[in-house]
Amino acid sequence: MNNICFLNSTRFWGGGEKIHFDYAIKFRDRGYNVYFAASQGNLLAEKASQNKFSVFHITLKNLSFLNPIKYLRLIRFYRKQNIDAVIISASHDTKVGAIAAKVAGVKKIVLYRALAAPVKNRFLNRYLYKRVFTHVIANSLETRRTMLLELTSITKDDVAIVYQGLDIRSIDDQEINQMNFEKDQFIIGNAGRLTAQKGQHYLIDIAKQLKSKNLNFKIVIAGTGELETSLREKINNEQLTNEVELIGFTDDVNSFMHSIDVFALTSEWEGFGYVLAEAMIAHKPLIAFNITSNPELIEEGKNGFLLDFGDTKAFADKLYLLANEKDLRIKMGDSGRKIVEKRFQLDQIISDFEKCIKQPTTKVTT
């Protein structure tokens, strides 16, 4: 296995795209020939080109599996570059990308699943998971559990678990540009797309409760998305413009994490809370709802707190506790750093991933 292709035609830059890019760098460092298949003009394709990767431009959407030209272009690309393994994550890439790989004779057709949602038990999905993907890998136990809620063609024993990794050394080497906040304010951070899934509206309710406690605080939310306008309206309507700030997208996540006191995640679900791990690198305590994969990163009372879903009062109470207990914040932050170093180091994760895809298959059932 020498030639690896990361197929990702997603138009925006998100966690999945960052994972593909980071993993591609590491596989190239290990001597593999690494290629990208990505949409022309998207940030992943641009970053790949800037870093001297060969990029094949293709755009895939939900109905692209009906377009034979898409298959033919990918088949020719796979064969021309003699691709040994193709790694796919986004659902809209799976049908064309995986079937084209099978026709082209690609030996390892790898699904790296990061979406903690059920795979529909449709004929095409059953065929893909049973007959096309040679390797099915989930990025957390929760992702594996939820993806199989409806799908009947494979079992959990057919799905390997490889957590997402972070290049901690590289992150530590980055220059930290502290953000300008009021000196004595308690800064609560949140980062992610402004979507219903990320649940930032809970933070506005939490801010109301913290304000009633006369705490000098600010909730800083990094990200953009379709709910930005409605969130701003709610912040204004609740008269919380001094307490909640939307700062837009930041590509300097490490500086953001080092500028806050605690990281608060209000997502309704997460396949793998990558942003939690980023906060752990910066020695920050965590607070999140006790749902999906959050317990796989947060050890209750050790590096943070896990709360019943939607309980904004308990959420506010824990934030108030941490605001007044600096020693506890430091202790939890240091514990989180040790956890991320032990479990989510990128080099070790890449070794686990490499070992997994070198096997003939992850499947145990036929």
User: pLDDT (tens digit, 9 = 90+) per residue, 189-199?
Assistant: 999 999 999 99
334 shares a domain with 248: yes
Please give the pLDDT value at position 18.
Answer: 87
Q: How many of the other CB atoms lie within 10 Å of CB of 53?
A: 20
308 shares a domain with 276: yes
87 shares a domain with 143: yes
37 shares a domain with 126: yes
Alpha helices by DSSP H, the chain = 15-29, 43-50, 68-80, 91-104, 123-127, 141-147, 168-173, 201-212, 228-237, 253-259, 274-281, 312-324, 326-343, 346-358
Confidence of residue 162 (pLDDT cuts 50, 70, 90): very high
What is the domain-level CATH number for residue 184? 3.40.50.2000
Please give the pLDDT value at position 364.
Answer: 76
Mean pLDDT of the chain: 95
313 shares a domain with 175: yes
Residue 113, strand partner residues? 138
Q: What is the pTM of this model?
A: 0.89
Please give the pLDDT value at position 349.
Answer: 97
On whether residue 214 sits in a domain, the answer given is yes
Structural domain boundaries, residue 137? 3-165+346-358
Rounded Cα gap, residues 110 and 94, in angstroms: 10
Least confident of 76-80, 199-203, 271-275: 271-275
Alpha helices by DSSP H, 153-214 = 168-173, 201-212
256 shares a domain with 150: no
174 shares a domain with 91: no
On whether residue 364 sits in a domain, the answer given is no
353 shares a domain with 319: no
Mean pLDDT in residue range 85-108: 96
Higher pLDDT, 184 or 100: 100
Please give the pLDDT value at position 366.
Answer: 55
- Residues of the chain with pLDDT > 70: what percent? 99
On whether residue 365 sits in a domain, the answer given is no
Residue 308 scores a pLDDT above 70? yes
190 shares a domain with 81: no
**251 CB-near residues (< 8 Å, 6+ apart):** none
143 shares a domain with 287: no
The answer to whether residues 197 and 269 touch, using CB atoms and an 8 Å cutoff, is yes
62 shares a domain with 10: yes
Residues in the chain: 366
Q: Domain count for the chain, please give it.
A: 2
Rounded Cα gap, residues 33 and 35, in angstroms: 7
On whether residue 363 sits in a domain, the answer given is no
Confidence of residue 173 (pLDDT cuts 50, 70, 90): very high
The answer to whether residues 206 and 316 touch, using CB atoms and an 8 Å cutoff, is yes
On whether residue 366 sits in a domain, the answer given is no
69 shares a domain with 103: yes
Please give the pLDDT value at position 15.
Answer: 77
Residue 273 scores a pLDDT above 60? yes
